[in-house]
Structure 1
Amino acid sequence: ASGSLTLSLDPMRNRYLSYGAMVVPSNDAFLGNESPTIIELFDANGDFIAQNFAILGSQIWDAGTEVNQLLGAAYIVGEDASAGVTENGMVQLADLSQQFSAYVGSAVPSGGTFQSAPSATAPLAAFSFAVVPEPAALSLAAVSVAVVSARRRSRRRD
């Protein structure tokens, strides 16, 4: 699956990107950047400097909030996501085989089965960035071109 999102950002107030996402079927696995200032979109002058990047399986975090077991798993048929056993652990990079092994072979709501733990080297998500011209700026440019063209035509007639 893929998708896109267009944002209008103030480069002085929105210099950085932070992201977070749950990695199901685990109740406490997630993706997120370690520092709120590690992914810079704009420099101190407001210039766009964003770089495309991918998130790999090795970058999945374990929040340490719940024991990694089938009981209480999210997105597994027949499981109650609120029934997980509290772990009281620490946030750390996930041990992929331990984090996801309990779910292998379990049915998921989309009709298939959970096949395997994510690979440490497999890309899970990718972010790409591009400056998109604002419609208002395009309209202003079109009006400017029309005015310049009209002036040139009127000068030729004189």
Structure 2
Amino acid sequence: MLAPHRLILAMMAGTSLLAASGTANALQVRVTVENLAPSNGTLFTPVWVGIHDGSFDLFNPGEAASAELERLAEDGNPGPLSSSFTGFGQGIVFGPGLGAGTPPVFAPGAKSSIVIDFDPGEDTAYLSFASMILPSNDAFFANADPRRFRIFDDGEFLSVRRVIFGSDIWDAGTEVNTELAADTPLLGQSVPDTGLTEGGVVTAHAGFLPGGNILNAFPGATIDQPNYRAALITVSPVPEPPSWALMLAAFGVGGLARGFRKLRKS
């Protein structure tokens, strides 16, 4: 993972690609992410989220991860992923509030949200997301199916509430899970892309090594245990219903736009 200041710069670079002017008729959705892990459990990096027409395929289980996903899964760097999303829709990277000397990561209990403004237009939209699990060599959570989370259908808003369990965490297959301090973010890695290349494929994560460095430092990071809860992702309209329905009626909206105009941190 990048050092904190470099990760912040990468996050800002990915976000800056998305800025645009707002419009008077914009509709809004709020995307909220919360870390549900227990004390001394897993953390995760700022989350990349994208809203698109269903054609953006982030990865496929059983196949090699893309170079863009590798950088996110190994180093927590969302910049290449943000760049690859150009032309598919709108994406943004966001994390919890920052304190002096604090990296922008979601620790257990941390929560953050973003409000996305967009213009009415097309009638279907889907949500994709991705984040690196910490500490790990190349663990991440994301949705493999680009059409798994539909947030608009024929002009109707569809709320999303998705709990990320330990069984939903993926192994990118790009770096050997040595759990050595020099190769593992939060345990001692200070330079990106330093682990042993694995050359594998994306698979469900089997959990961290019993008695290994990760569980010794973070004993609550037992992602292979039943019902381990890592994160919660929700998508809701702004304003909340019934104001949402009144707004749609006032604007005469028939659908959702592909071109988003403004992103505002909440």
User: TM-score under structure 2 normalisation?
Assistant: 0.43
- The code of the aligned residue for 2:218 comes to F
Cα distance per residue 1:126-155 (max 9 Å; x no partner)? 122221139xx9xxx9xxxxxxxxxxxxxx
Alpha-carbon spacing, 1:42–1:5, altered in 2? closer, same or farther (3 Å): same
CA distance in structure 2 between the partners assigned to 1:82 and 1:64 by the alignment = 14
CA distance in structure 1 between the partners assigned to 2:134 and 2:211 by the alignment = 9
- Aligned to 2:152, the other structure's residue is in SS state coil
Aligned residue runs from structure 1 range 69-84, under 5 A: 69-71=178-180, 72-77=183-188, 80-84=191-195
User: In the alignment, which residue of structure 2 is the partner of 1:25?
Assistant: 135
User: In the alignment, which residue of structure 1 is the partner of 2:264?
Assistant: none
User: In the alignment, which residue of structure 1 is the partner of 2:44?
Assistant: none
Q: Are 1:127 and 2:233 an aligned pair?
A: yes
User: In the alignment, which residue of structure 2 is the partner of 1:114?
Assistant: 218
Aligned residue runs from structure 1 range 1-158, under 5 A: 1-10=110-119, 12=122, 15-43=125-153, 45-71=154-180, 72-77=183-188, 80-98=191-209, 101-105=212-216, 113-115=217-219, 116-118=221-223, 119-133=225-239
Unaligned ranges ≥5, structure 2: 1-109, 248-266
Offset of residue 73 of structure 1? 0.8
Identity, in percent, stands at 34
- Aligned to 1:96, the other structure's residue is in SS state coil
Cα distance per residue 1:75-134 (max 9 Å; x no partner)? 2136655321111111001101449944222xxxxxxx3224323412211122221139
Offset of residue 49 of structure 1? 1.2
Alpha-carbon spacing, 1:117–1:80, altered in 2? closer, same or farther (3 Å): farther
Give the structure, 1 or 2, with the largest relative contact order (CA under 8 Å, sep 6 or more). 2
Alpha-carbon spacing, 1:124–1:79, altered in 2? closer, same or farther (3 Å): same
Is the 2:173–2:202 contact (alpha carbons within 8 Å) kept by the matching residues of 1? yes
The two structures, once aligned, show a CA RMSD in angstroms of 2.9
Is the 1:40–1:49 contact (alpha carbons within 8 Å) kept by the matching residues of 2? yes
Alpha-carbon spacing, 1:120–1:90, altered in 2? closer, same or farther (3 Å): farther
Offset of residue 9 of structure 1? 3.4
**If you compute each CA radius of gyration, which structure gives the higher value, 1 or 2?**
1
The total of aligned residue pairs comes to 129
Offset of residue 50 of structure 1? 2.3
CA distance in structure 2 between the partners assigned to 1:74 and 1:13 by the alignment = 41
Offset of residue 33 of structure 1? 0.2
